[in-house]
Amino acid sequence: MNDLTPTREQRTAALEGMGCKRKRVEDIRFTQGKGNYVDDVKLPGMLHGDFVRSPHAHARVKSINTDEALKVPGVLAVITAETLKTVNLAWMPTLAGDVQMVLADGKVLFQNQEVAFVVATDRYAADDGVSKVVVDYEALPVLVDPFKSMAPDAPVLREDLAGKTTGAHGPRKHHNHIFEWSVGDKELTDAAFNKAEVTIKEMISYHRTHPSPLETCQCVCSFDKIKGELTIWGTFQAPHVIRTVVALIAKLPEQKIHVISPDIGGGFGNKVGAYPGYICAAVASIVTGKPVKWVEDRIENLTATSFARDYHMTTEIAATKDGKVTGLRVHVLADHGAFDACADPSKWPAGFFNIVTGSYDFPVAHLTVDGVYSNKAPGGVAYRCSFRVTEAAYCIERAMDILAQKLGMDPAELRLKNFIRREQFPYHSALGWEYDSGDYHTAMRKMMESTDYAALRKEQAEKREAFKRGETREVMGLGVSFFTEIVGAGPSKNCDILGIAMFDSCEIRMHPTGAGIARMGTKSQGQGHETTWAQIIASEIGIPADNIMVEEGNTDTAPYGLGTYGSRSTPVAGAAIAMAARKIKAKAQMIAAYKLEVHEDDLEWDIDGFRVKGLPEKFMSMKDICWAAYNSVPPGMEPGLEAVSYYDPPNMTYPFGAYLCVMDIDVDTGVYKVRRFYALDDCGTRINPMIIEGQVHGGLTEAFAIAMGQEIRYDDGGNVVTGSFMDFFMPTAVETPRWETDFTVTPSPHHPIGAKGVGESPNVGGVPAFSNAVNDAFSFLGSTHIQMPHDYWRNWKAAKSLGVLG
C-alpha cells in the first residue's frame, strides 16, 4: 500500500453502483438529437400507411369504395377487412380475452375506429388516398353512458357475441356485459355493515383519460419474402410479447419474427397493447413486398389507441364511532369501450383492483366489478400505474376522507388509526394479497412533521372563519394521501400474459478486459435502464458501471422478458440482474480461488474483487478474474464468464408513500393554486436517487394533469370532444407545481436487493392528494364528494352549487 492505493471509499465510488446519483448514459445521445426512435427508421423503398377512420360512434358499414383512392398518385393499395379476411386477420385477440376488429367488419363501434388502411409512397400521398376512400355508413343508436350499457333496451353493440352467455371471465348478464369479477367474503362483509356504528357510501368516479406519451404509437414492418422473415421496429413496451402474439395470430414461425424496440419516447402504458396499425402495416408489407411505416398522429393517439381508467366505484366503509374501520364494500362499473382491450395479466379482468383495501387493516371486504361495453375507444391500459391500482388507490383514499369528514376526525388521524402496523407484515389483506413490508406510521409522521401539518390545519381553520366572515373569497384545502401500491407482476402462480408467466430476465457476459454487456427482457421508455441496470451489476460484481453496456429491445439478442410497465422492471428484472450477477460472482470466486491457490471458502468479497481472509495483500480484482476466465480457469471448468437469470418473483412488491397537497381555490373563478406539494416515497432500496426523484416529478405531473383536468370526454353522440392537445389538458412548465420529495427506506424482504419499484407511485398517490385537496377545500361548505377532474370550471360549478356565489 502507498499513497496512491485507492481507499475503500474511492474504490466504491469508482464503481458508481447502487445508491449513486449516476448521470445517465442515454443523455449523451438524446441531448444531441441522436436518439433512434421508430420514426427515425428509414428503409429503402419504404411505404407509408394511414387509416380511414369512422366519423361515427356506432354505424353499419354498408360499403367501402376504394376506386378513387387507388387512382391517387403514389397510392399502391387499400386494405379493408375483406383483404384481412383472406389472411384471417380481420379480428385480433386482445390481452383481456376478447376479440377486436382490426378494420371495421360490417360495423363501427367507436369514433375514429380504423376502417381502411391506405398504403402509399409517402405520408402525404397516403393522406390523399385516405380522403378519397368513400364509405357508406348507416348510423345506429349510440351508447356512451356506461350506466346505461346494461339497460334492457340498450343497443346491441357487439353483434359478433350474439348468443354468447359466457365470456373469457365467466357468465355475461347482458348483451353489453363483459364480465363480473368478485373477490372477498360477501357474507362477513354484509354482516360488518349490518352492525356498523357508522357507514359512508359514495359513487366515486375516475374519469376516462389517456397516457399520451410525447411520441405516439408507431411501427415499421418489413417482410422479406425470400427468407420468409418479418422484422418489426415498433414503440413496444413489451417486444417479446409482441413477437409471440404475431407468431400466434399471423401463424409465422417465431424464429422468423424479429421485433426491435429502439428508443421510445415515453410509454406510460400506451405502448403495451397490440393495435390495428401494427397488424395493417405487417399485412401491407407482406402484400406489397416493401417495408411499411405506420405513424399515428396525435388525434388518432388520443381517440383510438388505449384510454385509461373510466371506473365508476360505489364505495362503502363501515366503521366504529371512534374511527376504526370494520368493513369495505366496493362495486365498480368498468367502461371498456367497444372491445375489452384491457392490458392486464390474463387472469385479472380488473387488474389488481383488489388492492383497494389500501394501507388499512380492514378485517373484511367485498368487491365486485362489472365490465361493460360502450361506443368508445377500446382499452383500458394502466396509465403509469400497475393494473387498475391507481383507480383502487383513488377509491380508498377518497373514501377515507369522506369517512373522516363524517366522523369529524382529521383525515391524517383516521389513517394513523387504521394503518396496518409494522409488526403485521407480511400482511394478508381481506381481498387476498400478501403485503411484503411497510412502515406506514413512520412515513405518515415524517410527512406530517416535514410539512408542519398541524400548523397548516390551524391556518385552514382560521381561513375558513375568515371566509365565513366574508373577509376572503379563497378556500384552502389539504389533500392527504397515503397509498400502497402493488407492483412487480408477477409471480407465475398468479400472473401470466396469454399463458406466458410474467418472469423477467437478464443475461450478462463479461469480456476479457473487465467490461461486459447485459441484455434484458425489459425496455426503457425513459426510465434510464441503461444507467441503473449497470449500477446494480457494478455493486454486485465490482466492475464500474461505465464498463457495463446495457442492451434492451432486440428480441433476437435479448433473453425472453415480459417488458416494462406496471413498475415491474425493478421488482422483476432488477432481481434477475442481481441473480445473474451473483452467478457470475460465484464462478469468479472459483477462478480466484484457483489463481490465489486457496480454497473458495477462504475468500471474502471486498468491493471489487476477492481477498484471502486474513491475508489482505492476497487479492484478485474482478477485472483480473475476467481476464483469467478466458485463459486460466480451473481444470474441468468451462472458460468464459457469463450467466443468465430468469426470475420468477415469489411475491409482488408493495411500495407506499405519504403525500400532501396544499391548495387554495378562488370560489368566484374556480382558479386553484397548488401552494405546496410534498411527496414521501418508500420504494425500498434506492438504486439511483436522481432517477427516482425524476420519476417522482414526472409521475406527480401526470397525476396533477389527470386530477385537475385531463379527460377523454365524449358528447352524447359519441364524439370525442378532447381529441387534441388544445382540449386535452397537458400541463406546461407554467401550470406545473413545484415538487418537494422525501423518502423512507423499507426494503422488500423477498427481493434480492430489496428494491420495490417507483415509477408509478407518484401517479397512484398523487391523484388522490390533488382530489382530496379540492374536496377538503370545499368540505366545510357542506359537500362530501366532488367528481374529478377539478378544472377551474368545475370548481366554480362546485362553489355555485354550494351556494357561495351570492
Partner 1 sequence: MAKIHVTMKVNGAEVEGLVEPRTLLVHFIRENLQLTGTHIGCETTHCGACTVDIDGMSVKSCTMFAIQANGSDITTIEGMANADGTLSHLQEGFRQMHGLQCGYCTPGMIVRAHRLLQENPAPTEDEIRAGIAGNICRCTGYQNIVKAIQYAAAKAKGVEFKEAAE
Subset of 82-141 contacting ligand FES (CB under 6 A): none
Name the CA dihedral angle for 618, 621, 626, 632, rounded to a multiple of 10 degrees.
-10
- Shortest distance, position 733 Cβ to ligand FES, whole Å: 11
Q: Which amino acid is located at 511 in the chain?
A: H
Cβ atoms of 370 and 243 closer than 8 Å: no
Nearer to partner 1, 42 or 195 (CB): 42
266 binds ligand FES (CB under 6 A): yes
Query: In whole angstroms, how close is the CB of 238 to ligand FES at the nearest point?
Result: 19
Using CB under 8 A as the criterion, what x/- string covers residues 482-521 for binding partner 1?
Answer: ----------------------------------------
Check if the beta carbon of residue 477 is closer than 8 Å to that of residue 665.
yes
CA dist 669 and 224 (Å) reads 61
Based on the residue annotation, tell me whether 683 is a catalytic residue of this protein: no
- Tell me which of 8, 34, 71, 173 binds partner 1, using CB under 8 A: 34
498: left (phi over 0), alpha (psi -120 to 50) or beta: left
Host H or E run for residue 392:
helix 389-407
Identity of the residue, 30 or 793, whose beta carbon is nearer to partner 1 in the bound complex: 30
28 binds partner 1 (CB under 8 A): yes
- Separation of alpha carbons 393 and 551, rounded Å: 34
Q: Residue 733 interacts with partner 1 (CB under 8 A)? A: yes
694 binds partner 1 (CB under 8 A): yes
Active-site residue identified among 384, 388, 519, 686: 384
Tell me which residues in 191-230 interact with ligand FES (CB under 6 A). 214
Q: Which 254-283 positions form the footprint of partner 1 (CB under 8 A)? A: 263-266, 268
Active site residue 20: no
Q: How far apart are CA 433 and CA 25, in angstroms?
A: 38
* C-alpha grid cell, residue 151: 339497460
CA dist list (Å): 291 to 48, 397, 652, 700, 726? 8, 49, 41, 40, 34
Give the pairing of strands 99-101 and 91-93: antiparallel
Among residues 264 and 393, whose Cβ is nearest to ligand FES? 264
With CB under 5 to 8 Å by kind, the binding choice for 42 among ligand FES, partner 1, none is partner 1
Asked whether 533 and 576 are in contact (CB, 8 A), the reply is no
Catalytic residue among 100, 218, 237, 710: 237
**Site size for partner 1, by CB under 8 A?**
59
- Asked if 123 interacts with partner 1 (CB under 8 A), we say yes
Cβ-proximal residues to 7 (8 Å cutoff; 6+ apart), any chain: none
Options 439-447, 729-737, 770-778, 779-787: segment touching partner 1 (CB under 8 A): 729-737
**Per CB under 8 A, 35 contacts partner 1:** yes
Residue with CB nearest ligand FES?
A: 214
Among 1, 3, 9, 42, binds partner 1 (CB under 8 A): 42
Nearer to ligand FES, 40 or 138 (CB): 40
- What DSSP string runs through 5-24? SPPHHHHHHHHT-TT--PPP
**Do you know the residue count of the chain?**
806
Using the minimum distance from each CB to partner 1, give the nearer residue, 211 or 649: 211
262 makes contact with ligand FES (CB under 6 A)? no
Instruction: Decide which of ligand FES, partner 1, none touches 525; Cβ closer than 5 to 8 Å per partner kind.
Output: partner 1
* 512 touching ligand FES, by CB under 6 A: no
Considering CB distances under 5 to 8 angstroms, the limit depending on partner class, which of ligand FES, partner 1, none binds residue 166? none
- 375, 653, 741, 771: which one contacts partner 1 (CB under 8 A)? 741
**Using CB under 8 A, which of 195, 321, 599, 738 touches partner 1?**
738
Alpha-carbon gap, residue 557 to 555, rounded angstroms: 6
Tally Cβ neighbours within 10 Å of residue 69: 23
Cell numbers found for residue 169: 371471465
Edge-to-edge strand list for the sheet holding 615-621: 603-605, 609-612, 615-621
Site pattern 581..620 for partner 1 (x: CB under 8 A): ----------------------------------------
Segment near partner 1 (CB under 8 A); pick from 17-25, 538-546, 559-567, 634-642:
17-25
| Spatial separation of the C-alpha atoms in residues 390 and 771, rounded to whole Å | 13
Residue 217 a catalytic site member: no
What the block records as the C-alpha cell of 179 is 364480465
Is 700 a binding residue for partner 1 by CB under 8 A? The answer is: yes
Say whether 170 sits in a helix, a strand or coil: strand
Rounded distance between C-alpha atoms, residue 238 and residue 345, angstroms: 13
Report the residue from 6, 13, 31, 165 that binds partner 1 according to the rule CB under 8 A: 31
Round to whole Å and give the CA distance between 522 and 566: 12
Question: Taking CB under 8 A as the rule, does residue 552 contact partner 1?
Answer: no
Query: Is position 33 an interface residue for partner 1 (rule: CB under 8 A)?
Result: yes
Q: What is the identity of the amino acid at 530?
A: E
d(CA 469, CA 39): 60
Q: Which stretch binds partner 1 (CB under 8 A): 109-117, 199-207, 296-304, 665-673?
A: 296-304
440-451 vs 453-468: helix axis angle to the nearest 10?
A: 60
Nearest CA-CA partner of 802 in 667, 700, 623 = 667
Contact set for ligand FES, span 519-558 (CB under 6 A): 526
731 is a contact residue toward ligand FES (CB under 6 A):
no
Indicate if 385 belongs to the active site: yes
DSSP H helix total and E strand total for the chain: 19, 35
Q: Please report how close the Cβ of residue 732 comes to ligand FES at its closest, in angstroms.
A: 12
Q: What is the DSSP string of 97-163?
A: S-EEESS-SSEE-STT-EEEEEEESSHHHHHHHHHH-EEEEEE------GGGTTSTTPPP--GGGTT
Footprint on this chain of partner 1 (rule: CB under 8 A): 21, 23-24, 26-35, 37, 39-40, 42, 122-124, 212-216, 263-266, 268, 297-299, 525-528, 690-691, 693-695, 697-702, 724-726, 730, 732-734, 736, 738-739, 741
Footprint on this chain of ligand FES (rule: CB under 6 A): 214, 266, 526
Catalytic residues: 237, 384-385, 760
